[in-house]
Structure 1
Amino acid sequence: MTGSSDEIELLIRAVRPTNAYEETMQRLLQSIRLGMIGPGERLPAERDLATMLKVSRDTVREAIATLADAGYVVSRRGRYGGTFVVDAIPLDSALDVSGARLGVAEVEDVTTLRRVLEVGAAREAAGRDLSADERAALTHVLEECSGSASPDHRRLDSRLHLLIAELSGSTSLVPLVANLRTRVNALLEEIPMLKPNLAHSDAQHEAIVAAILAGRPESAAEAMLEHIEGSAALLRGFLSRHE
């Protein structure tokens, strides 16, 4: 993702919320946690967020104030002011939008959803005639993820998966994958981040992206499935010890 307001809208676009404040909080917090608005980056203006989310500016203002109190964003005044994501995003917070019950049952549910959504996204992305800008964005995000240090890896990993969902051509798929990545990351936070596993994950990402860029839908789907099953096996191994 390149961080434009249009791309951010893909992630935070809302179906009509039953509770406007809670829905706004969820979308903004997801966008920050999943790296769509990265550390140090400025949020869109309140009026733009209100338009994207189809809520009032008062609702947006209230949600941003809550995020500021929780340590996710900071407001700056002046010519280059605005609301910015903090440089060090909190690892733990009282703000919980996932509702996940962590354990092997959650792993199985998440893995099934990943097979349905993310394998299909990779297949569809590989089947499309991607533009030069789309191909460049995919290559750039892969390079960022592969070269990232451990603290940034999950955020950049999520950004790569979300871009693949976007490249499927279905704007409706992106919010679904965003919700799913929130649950995936909640599970991954419960297990150690091991360098051999990160290296293996990077190699799988490279295979997925290579297949998409080469226009090989079935190869892209197979590579994504291998990636998902590898993550699931790792999660089962660690989380089953605690049940």
Structure 2
Amino acid sequence: MSEPRDAGGDRLPGGDEGLSTVLRPVRAGSGFEEALEQILQVLRLGLVSYGERLPSERELAERLRISRVTLRDVLKVLQDQGLVESRRGRYGGTFVRYRAGALADADPGAAGRDELRRAVARIDVADVLRFREVLEVGAAELCASRELTAEEEDRLQICLAATNDAPLGEYRRLDTRLHLTLAELSGSPSLAAAYAGVRATVNDLLDRIPLLVRNLEHSQNQHAALLDAILEGDTDGAREMMREHCAGTASLLRGFLT
């Protein structure tokens, strides 16, 4: 499969992993609001990294099925908030200034824990984590039950390898890409879209706690076992491994909340 390219023929940053899950046609009558929400999800999920270029205006408008005028209004809001910047010239475009997971490698200390508690007060964490588990476990089971193509299997292996080789500051973004790919390959666009939303909320919480190397090593072992189960068509094994993996994330968050 050829890699997606922007209007100038350059490969889009990060390929297309996750973008097709998040960027979907918006409903008539709420184009501006839904387009803003979806592009914010792209930033919060780290699907386009800090300093990299968003897809071209033409591609974004086509994916979202909105006019270029509406899209420019959305990008203007993001620029006013300091989340993106516009550059002119041959190598211009809209570049990301938001750094997904920027807080993740810092020692949270008392101030960080207070910030996490304030974030938690705004959402029902238990409900978010339950919903995330239902979606992730379902996606893993569906993936294992499907006859994945060689290309789809390669996508999973590439995503897993990227998390194995990731620098600490990039890990959460690449971990998100792996999970989004699993959701997309479940074969249910509705499940994938719902997962993108809940994952953004989970990342908002995870970005406020430190990345623990030992925990990441454990997560990587689970990722490898999960992919083995999926590629072997072991639905029970895939479901239980994903359930265990989600439980680990939930425990980690509870640990920092108490």
Q: Under TM normalisation by the shorter chain, which class is it? A: 0.7 to 0.9
| Identical aligned residues as a percent | 46
TM-score by length of 1: 0.84
Moved more, 23-32 or 78-87: 78-87
CA contact (8 A) 1:126 1:211 kept: yes
Distance 1:105 1:47, change over 3 A: closer
Q: Counterpart in 2 of 1:13?
A: 24
1:15-44 Cα shifts (integer Å, max 9, x gaps): 516643232111011112213223444322
Q: Once the 2 structures are TM-superposed, how far is the Cα of residue 86 of structure 1 from its aligned partner?
A: 4.0
CA contact (8 A) 2:160 2:224 kept: yes
Q: Counterpart in 1 of 2:248?
A: 230
Distance 1:151 1:103, change over 3 A: farther
Gapped runs of 5+ residues in structure 2? Answer: 4-13, 104-117
CA contact (8 A) 1:165 1:173 kept: yes
Where in structure 2 are the equivalents of 1:1-243 lying within 5 Å? 3-4=14-15, 8-16=19-27, 19-86=30-97, 88=99, 91=102, 102=120, 106-239=124-257, 241=258
Match of 1:102, SS state, is: helix
CA contact (8 A) 1:123 1:217 kept: yes
Gapped runs of 5+ residues in structure 1? Answer: 93-99
CA RMSD of aligned residues (A): 2.6
Moved more, 127-136 or 186-195: 186-195
Instruction: Tell me the number of residue pairs that the alignment of Structure 1 and Structure 2 aligns.
Output: 232
Q: Counterpart in 2 of 1:96?
A: none
Tell me, in whole angstroms, the C-alpha distance in 2 between the residues paired with 1:138 and 1:129: 14
Q: Once the 2 structures are TM-superposed, how far is the Cα of residue 193 of structure 1 from its aligned partner?
A: 1.8
